[in-house]
Amino acid sequence: MFSVLPAQTLFDQSQLWNRRMFGGNLPNASQQYKRRRGYSGPIRCDCTSPDRESSFSGDDYKGNSSSSQAITYSVDKISEGFVLSILKEIPEREIYSVIYSKAKDIKERNYRPSYNIVRDIFGNEYYVEEKCEEDDDDDELIRAAMSQIDLNSVGKKLSRESYQDYNIEIERRGSSVCISSSKDNFNKEFEFGINIEDAVVIDCNIEKKYNQIGKEIYYTVLKIGITEKQEAKELSDKSGVRVTPSSSTHKKKYHYKKHRESQSSSKHHNHHYSQNKRKRTNSTKPVLEEIEDIEFVNYEESLQMNPPCLSLIEEIQA
């Protein structure tokens, strides 16, 4: 007879992990981590070290590993001062991505979908979007959106974002300008040999140039106008670039002129007031009468009445 109940069978798990493969340690063993002391404070970067300064000696500057953009600069001399241009190469994909994103936004705003009503076997109605050739539709919408994009504004936006962390500072001696950027690891001092009055940004845009093999290269350009101290008028060159000193300079001049005028007017007012006061003092000065001092007169009379000392000695001897 055969038993209805199945026989009890014991399954033993075979040794799947070979100790030789893991050097005697099984994978399920507790893993021990090594402890290493680290520094969690801020990382200091000395931009004035000799090796850093030597990297800025040439006209072309290559940033660190985090910044693969090449930075160049040029200085143009004009009659009223200088125009300092800083150029940084920008990849084409960044320009195209910004233009495509703007075109996509315009397409989404202008897209008008059409729907059809569909009924199922139970009589329920559904709105289904009417589809068309996606490629042709997208290309047509993107072409229409591209015509509405202002490429000049796109270039200005990219250039401003590229130079957002740049600092422009006039040194204490007033003849050089220091430009620094922590993002691009750029720090350079430009000596102009003049008494600088102001340094202002006059243009921030994108320029297209060609290399030796004729390939197009796009650069973000930051133009800085350097004005001399004795000439604070607007700075213009042959290409029509105009430099207007910053509003802070006008305010300083205005306040200084106003302060000088107020000082001169206050001095004139004080002088006029002192003269009037002196006149009033002279006109209201009381007249002092010569009044004899009774005590002084009595003292003089007493001296005349008392005999001299010699007369007293003569009387005693007599």
51-91 confidence digits (pLDDT tens)? 433 333 334 333 333 344 678 888 888 877 888 998 888 88
Inside any domain, residue 25: no
Q: 263 in a domain, yes or no?
A: no
Flag whether 111 is in a domain.
Answer: yes
Nearest to 141 by CA among 115, 109, 114: 109
Per-residue pLDDT band at 277 (split at 50, 70, 90): low
The string of pLDDT tens digits covering residues 86-130 is: 888 888 788 778 877 777 777 777 666 777 888 888 888 888 876
What integer pLDDT is reported at residue 289 of this predicted model?
53
In a domain, 236, yes or no: yes
Average pLDDT rounded to a whole number, residues 135-151: 67
Cα separation of 23 and 38, whole Å? Answer: 30
Return the pLDDT at 62.
Answer: 36
- Measured in degrees and rounded to the nearest 5, phi and psi for residue 217 equal -130, 130
Q: Which amino acid is at 228?
A: E
Model confidence at 198: pLDDT above 70: yes
> What's the structural domain count of the chain?
1
Of these ranges, 116-130, 185-199, 204-218, 254-268, the one predicted with the greatest mean pLDDT is 185-199
Residue 288 lies in a domain: no
pLDDT, position 109:
74
Range name among 3-7, 159-163, 204-208 with the lowest pLDDT average: 3-7
Q: Is residue 160 in a domain?
A: yes
pTM beyond 0.85: the answer is no
Residue 28 banded pLDDT, cuts 50, 70, 90: low
Encode pLDDT of 172-194 as tens digits.
Answer: 888 888 988 888 888 888 888 88
pLDDT of 208 > 60? The answer is yes
On whether residue 97 sits in a domain, the answer given is yes
Checking if the pLDDT of 256 tops 50, the result is no
| Cβ count within 10 A of residue 71 | 21
What pLDDT is stored for residue 101 in this prediction? 79
Q: What is the pLDDT of residue 279?
A: 52
Which residues, 6 or more positions from 191, have their beta carbon under 8 angstroms from its beta carbon?
Answer: 175, 176
Tell me which residue has tokens 């994909």. 93
Range of the domain at 95: 50-253
pLDDT tier, 38 (very low <50, low <70, confident <90, very high otherwise): very low
What's the whole-number average pLDDT of the chain? Answer: 65
Q: Helices 92-110 and 151-162, interaxial angle, to 10°?
A: 130
Pairwise pLDDT comparison (37 vs 86), residue with the higher score: 86
Q: Evaluate if residue 205 carries a pLDDT over 50.
A: yes
Asked if residue 281 is part of any domain, the answer here is: no
Residue 148 one-letter amino acid: Q
- Structure confidence at residue 202 (pLDDT): 87
Residues 220-245: pLDDT tens digits?
A: 888 988 888 764 444 434 434 444 43
The amino acid occupying position 126 is Y
